[in-house]
């Protein structure tokens, strides 16, 4: 078994990417053309695309038995689809890459070399972004914000472009989370992790699947999944407001009983205080509600994303394609 090639699983999430799936497949195959010492499988997860993405993936899977395709019965979201792909990977390590090729597949040899040096996680650090200045600013601000709030050490300017060792894949198989945040989850696992800088490419076909609403949702998941700071802010603010109200009450009583102060009735002051109290309650009940909502969703134990179709899995279930753990620590 010493001469067996290490197997790398390449995970490619796709949603309405009919203009990109063939380009992504060809670019990944070209990258492995420079890596004769490695075997590979490509796992496309189709998040119930409404265009011809799945039909094209069927054609690719018929042409190349190394390509596996998982199509969900509905759109289960980007992070959940990725978790299914990680659990399905049979390689000694897995590389996650987006279908739009903004993260270049020609960096896979470099990632594999760092993995062979003994690192369980190899992640790409975005040196430059192709977004407009406002979106780029929001991305940078998010990375810094979540790193400041999180109790885990999360690297800055790191997206989804990464390689993980078989040991990490085995740990991810145990994850049962209805709202996973994988980049944070993998970073929090520890082991030996190393980054490399790269310039992100511009999307040349199709449309971005991450509008502001999706990025905001990902940011909320990242913060709430890796930090209790919002709850602690709510608790501290409530304590400060309660203390201030108590002191004002004492001052009012002392002024009234000791100094005989006649306090004028103030409808405006009373109204402002009531509105302020309602506002604070609404804000922090909303934060608490986010956590309770996640507890509720987790307690429902919904089934994992339903796979509508799966191609070429029987080929990869054969014993000769079992992981050899080359490069694992």
CA-to-CA separations, 322 to 150, 152, 278, in angstroms, rounded: 36, 33, 59
> How far apart (Å, rounded) are the C-alpha atoms in residues 223 and 186?
15
> How far apart (Å, rounded) are the C-alpha atoms in residues 272 and 276?
6
Tell me the average confidence (pLDDT) per consecutive run of 10 residues in the chain, 329 residues long. Answer: 79 90 92 90 92 92 92 85 90 91 89 92 78 62 61 66 91 80 78 85 59 58 63 68 67 69 61 67 72 66 63 55 41
pLDDT of residue 325: 41
Count, residues in the chain: 329
DSSP line for 193-235: EEEEEEEPPPP-SS--S--HHHHHHHHHHHHHHH--HHHHHHH
Q: Are strands 193-199 and 39-46 parallel, antiparallel or unpaired?
A: unpaired
pLDDT of residue 127: 77
- Give the alpha-carbon dihedral of 10, 13, 16, 19, to 10 degrees: -20
The residue behind tokens 């309650």 is 281
> Which residue, 152, 159, 155, is CA-closest to 144?
155
pLDDT of residue 319: 39
> How far apart (Å, rounded) are the C-alpha atoms in residues 110 and 256?
76
Q: What angle do CA 69, 304, 43 make, to 5 degrees?
A: 20
DSSP state of 189: T
CB-based contact 162:282 (threshold 8 Å): no
Q: What angle do CA 161, 165, 170 make, to 5 degrees?
A: 110
Question: Backbone phi, then psi, for 45, in 5-degree steps?
Answer: -110, 115
Whole-model pTM: value is 0.67
Q: What angle do CA 317, 321, 325 make, to 5 degrees?
A: 125
CA atoms within 13 A on the CB side of 226: 27
pLDDT of residue 54: 92
CB-based contact 193:164 (threshold 8 Å): no
Please classify residue 105 by burial: count the beta carbons closer than 10 Å to its beta carbon, then call 0-12 exposed, 13-18 middle and 19+ buried. buried
The residue behind tokens 């995970």 is 11
DSSP state of 265: P
pLDDT of residue 190: 80
Both tokens of 85, joined, read: 């792909």
Question: Backbone phi, then psi, for 272, in 5-degree steps?
Answer: -60, -45
Where are the alpha helices (H) located in the chain, listed in sequence order? 21-33, 53-63, 78-88, 108-116, 133-149, 166-172, 182-188, 212-226, 229-257, 267-299, 313-316
DSSP state of 1: -
CB-based contact 7:40 (threshold 8 Å): yes
Cα 247 to its chain centre, rounded Å, is 45
Q: Please, what is the end-to-end C-alpha distance for the chain in angstroms?
A: 18
pLDDT of residue 59: 93
pLDDT of residue 114: 94
């Amino acid at each position: 078994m010493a001469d067996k090639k290490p197997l790398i699983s390449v995970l490619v999430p796709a949603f309405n990417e009919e203009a990109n799936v063939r380009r992504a497949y060809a670019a990944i195959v070209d990258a492995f053309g420079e890596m004769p010492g490695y075997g590979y499988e490509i796992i496309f997860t189709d998040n119930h695309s409404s265009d011809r993405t799945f039909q094209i993936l069927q054609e690719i899977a018929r042409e190349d038995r190394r390509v596996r395709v998982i199509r969900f019965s509905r759109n289960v979201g980007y992070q959940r689809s990725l978790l299914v792909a990680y659990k399905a990977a049979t390689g000694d390590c897995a590389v996650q890459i987006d279908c739009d090729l903004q993260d270049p597949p020609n960096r896979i040899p470099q990632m594999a070399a760092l993995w062979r040096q003994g690192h369980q996680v190899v992640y790409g650090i975005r040196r430059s972004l192709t977004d407009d200045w406002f979106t780029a600013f929001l991305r940078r601000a998010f990375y810094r914000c979540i790193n400041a709030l999180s109790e885990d050490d999360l690297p800055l300017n790191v997206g989804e472009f990464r390689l993980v060792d078989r040991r990490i894949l085995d740990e991810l198989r145990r994850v049962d989370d209805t709202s996973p945040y994988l980049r944070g989850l993998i970073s929090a696992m520890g082991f030996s992790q190393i980054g490399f800088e790269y310039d992100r490419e511009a999307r040349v076909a199709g449309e971005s699947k991450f509008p502001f609403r999706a990025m905001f949702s990902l940011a909320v998941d990242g913060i709430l999944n890796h930090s209790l700071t919002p709850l602690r802010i709510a608790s501290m603010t409530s304590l400060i407001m309660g203390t201030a109200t108590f002191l004002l009450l004492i001052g009012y009583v002392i002024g009234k009983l000791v100094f005989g102060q006649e306090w004028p009735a103030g409808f405006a002051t009373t109204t402002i205080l009531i509105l302020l109290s309602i506002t604070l309650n609404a804000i922090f009940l909303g934060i608490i509600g986010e956590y309770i909502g996640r507890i509720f969703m987790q307690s429902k134990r919904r089934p994992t994303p339903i796979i509508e179709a799966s191609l070429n899995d029987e080929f990869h279930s054969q014993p000769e394609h079992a992981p050899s753990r080359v490069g694992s620590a």
